[in-house]
Every structure is written in C-alpha cells, then in structure tokens.
Amino acid sequence: MVQHPSSPPTTEYHKDNTKSKWVFNVQQQGHSDDILQQNQQTDCGQTTPHKMGYSHVMRIAIVFIICVYPAHTEKMCSKSDDLPQLTKSQRLPGKVLFSTMADGVMLCARLCLGASLCGSFNFNMKTGVCELNDATLGTEVKEVIHAEHYVFSDVNSWPKRLAGVCVNHSCSESQYCQPNNDSDYSCKPLVATSCSDVQQCQPESPDGEYWLNVGSYPFNQIRIYCHEMNTENPREYVTLMNENYGFYPGLRSPGCTGDVSRPEMENHRWFQKIRFDVKHMTVVRNDYTFSNWTSKATPYGRAADCYTTHGDSVAVCGTKGRFTIDLRGTGLAVVPEQTWSKDGFMSIIQSISRSHEGSVIELRCGGFCGGCDPVGSLKLQVNSNENLPSNSTTTVMCG
C-alpha cells in the first residue's frame, strides 16, 4: 500500500496466525509522521524498506516489528542500523532514574514512553540493560559520553503510539506503565514511595529502615521504618531519635487555691515511632503501635490536664499539661503554618515553643479538664537543614 507524504498516518495490522504474531512496519518522516503499512514477516528480523510512489525520493524506512509470545508478553526485535533515532556507542551519564532489563531497544523505548518523567533512555544492545533518564540531551546534560554496546535516544523522537495501551496511562510520576495485555496495564514503581513499593521493588524485604521518595519530582528522600512487611499492607513509621513525651498531672487546683493530689489521673506517654502518611506527609496521631503509657493512650501531639480553670488569660497557677515533639535526627520538621486549638472546659494554650527549624515543638496546655490538639492533621515537611548519612538505612532499587 502506498501513501502520499501529505496523507494522514494510517495503521494496518496483519495477523500471522501460523506464528501467533502481530507484525507492522513504521516509516518515519521527520520525528513523528509515521506511516504504518501491512507487511508479511515470519521471524523477528530485518525487513526491506518500502519505496514511496510517485517521483519522491525514497525516504528512510524504519522497521518496527513486534513479536508477541504469547499475546500478553511482548518481545520487540530490531536492528540499530534501522533506527536513526539511536545514537550508537553513546550514553547520557548521571541522569538514570530507573534501570531494568528489556528484550530489545523497542521495549526500552516503550518503557520510556510509559513513564512521564522519562526524557531519554540508554540501552545496552549486548546485555539488554534499559536505563530511563530523567533528562534530555541539551537540558541538564549537554553531551553524551562514549559507551561500548550502548545506544542513546531522546523519547520525543519516537511515535507515541509505540506505547500501545499505555499511550494515555494514568500512572503517577513516580511510576511507569506496564502493559498487561492489549487492553489493560499496571502502574509499577520507578522509585519507592511507600513500603508497598519496597515489597514490589525488593521482594522478601524484612521490617526495617528504608529510604523512601516523597513529594513531587525532584523527590526528597526520607528515612522510613517499614512495619509488617510480611503482610499485604505494610505500614510506614518514623523512628524518633529523641524522647517524645507527654505528661498529664495527677493534681487539681480549682481556682488556684492549692494542689489536691489525684494520683489516679496521672499519665505519662512516650512514643518511639510515629505512624506516617507518606503521601500526605501527616502523622497518624492515634496509632500506638510503638508507644508506652502509664494510664491510658492519648494522641501524639496533645497536651492536656485537669488542673484548674482559665478565662481569657492563663490562671496564676498556670497549666500542667505538657507534650514535647522532637523530630531531630529524622530529617523532618513540623510545617511552619501548623497551629493548635484548645478544647475542653475553661481551657487555654499557655505556650507553643518552636525551635530547631520546627523539629522541636514544646506544648503547654490545660483546663478543667481540657487541653490542645493540632488544627487539622499534624503535617510535616523535609528539614533541608538536616542531612542524614546516606549509609544510615537501606537504599531501595526498583527495576
């Protein structure tokens, strides 16, 4: 079949029932004006470029041969000489976001097309190593380097429909699209952003500390303890390096007339780890898996007492409820805009002290009975002033 250069691209597929293969050819004019035409092919290999009709000069034919073994598993075969998008014996250094094995350069190109962060790729024609880069040549990196057996290509030089079912995927920027069949796909982690991702990237990983990627690209890394990794739903925790402690006194002084001992009310609470919602960067305050108390469990970040009454100002005998948030050594801090509100009967916030770039918050609140809690969720952020040693936990490799 012959197409005029001005004709819109058309696609025709030929089913070779004897070999259970779909075969199609692509001719490229410029970067994306590709013409797909029917072609007979019995093996993965080279085909002959089709000559354009009329008096036009024969254009460069680019052969895309897709071999399906079976329908759900694809292997794409091609020769680098047929693909002018490839820069041979070259590699873009220092920008590899994800590395995996691919059965041919075409599958590597398709993986790149299925990842929103992929700007280019390096492919080793000898080993099958496919490296997805988070940059294109000429943006952050000005030149490629010589690398034996490698080819390099910007993703923009490939037709988007090569992505197949992944062409309009909805995977997040931390994921890539992996076709399951010709009508369905799965989103797989490029980088680990949760303990479930750690399970996918490194199966059989035990409970322990791992680097997870948070926020938008370029990601920040935080140290997270993954708990119950032998289950389908492991949970994320932040290991606290310093004492995080709350005190509820066993005293009362109505009207500040003198202390009355009420030892049954006294409560001390300690948190060794706090559960953390990595996606929203918030503390799950009512998780007590890694906490201790002397009387009863109460939420992280709450200060309260039942000491005395307060009006519009703090009573002369003050408040006795205390809680100290101390995130030093975790690489995290409370966001500057976080506030607390009072609750209970005739309660008040006596003071909220912030230090160490928000890593330490000291609360003094109370009432009769009453105290203070964070307004909304207790939200954290990465503390850019604290650099944790890279060897302090396990690096997760996906791919």
The answer to whether residue 220 is domain-embedded is no
Q: Of 84, 117, 138, which closes a domain? A: 84
* Calpha distance 61→148 (Å, rounded): 26
What is the reported pLDDT for 75? Answer: 52
Domain tally for the chain? Answer: 3
At 110, phi and psi to the nearest 5? -70, -40
At position 298, the amino acid (one-letter code) is: T
Residues 6+ away with beta carbon under 8 Å from 14: 22, 23, 24, 38, 39, 40
pLDDT, one tens digit per residue, over 290-326 is 999 999 999 999 999 999 999 999 999 999 999 999 9
Q: Could you tell me the residue range of the domain that residue 253 belongs to? A: 242-381
- What lies within 8 Å, CB to CB, of 176 at 6+ separation is 98, 111, 114, 115, 118, 132, 187, 188, 190
Band the pLDDT of 79: cuts 50, 70, 90. Answer: low
Residues 298 and 368 grouped into a single domain: yes
Kindly state whether residues 76 and 101 are assigned to the same domain.
Answer: no
Mean residue pLDDT across the chain: 84
* Residue 138 confidence class, pLDDT cut points 50, 70, 90: confident
Look at residues 150, 167, 157, 164 and name the one whose alpha carbon lies nearest to residue 60.
157
Check whether residue 57 and residue 118 sit in a common domain: no
Q: Is residue 24 part of a domain?
A: yes
Mean pLDDT of 186-205: 96
pLDDT classification of 39: cutoffs 50, 70, 90: very low
Summarised one tens digit per residue, pLDDT across range 208-249 is 999 999 998 989 999 999 999 999 999 999 999 999 999 999
Buried b or exposed e, range 109-137, using 16+ CB within 10 angstroms: bbbbbbbbbbbbbbbbbeeebbbbbbbbb
User: Using CA atoms, how far apart are residues 29 and 39, in angstroms rounded to an integer?
Assistant: 19
Which residue in the block uniquely carries the two structure tokens 């001005």?
A: 6
Pair 78, 124 in one domain: no
Assess if residue 74 is contained within a domain: yes
* Residue type present at position 123: F
CA distance 118 to 112: 5
- Nearest 5°: the CA angle 379, 395, 384 is 40
394 within a domain of the structure (yes/no): no
- Tell whether 62 and 91 lie within a shared domain: no
- The arithmetic mean of pLDDT across residues 32-46, rounded, is 34
> Which among 268, 328, 327, 272 has a CA at the least distance from the CA of 298?
268
Q: Peptide bond before 206: cis, by omega within 30 degrees of 0?
A: no
Measured CA to CA, the distance from residue 390 to residue 223 in angstroms comes to 10
The predicted pLDDT at position 141 comes to 85
154 domain-assigned: yes
What CATH code is carried by the domain that includes residue 182?
Answer: 3.50.4.10
For residues 72 and 120, state if they share a domain.
no
Mean pLDDT of 163-176: 96
| pTM of the predicted model as reported, rounded to 2 decimal places | 0.79
pLDDT grade, residue 23 (50/70/90)? very low
Nearest to 308 by CA among 374, 371, 372: 371
For residue 216, is it within any domain? no
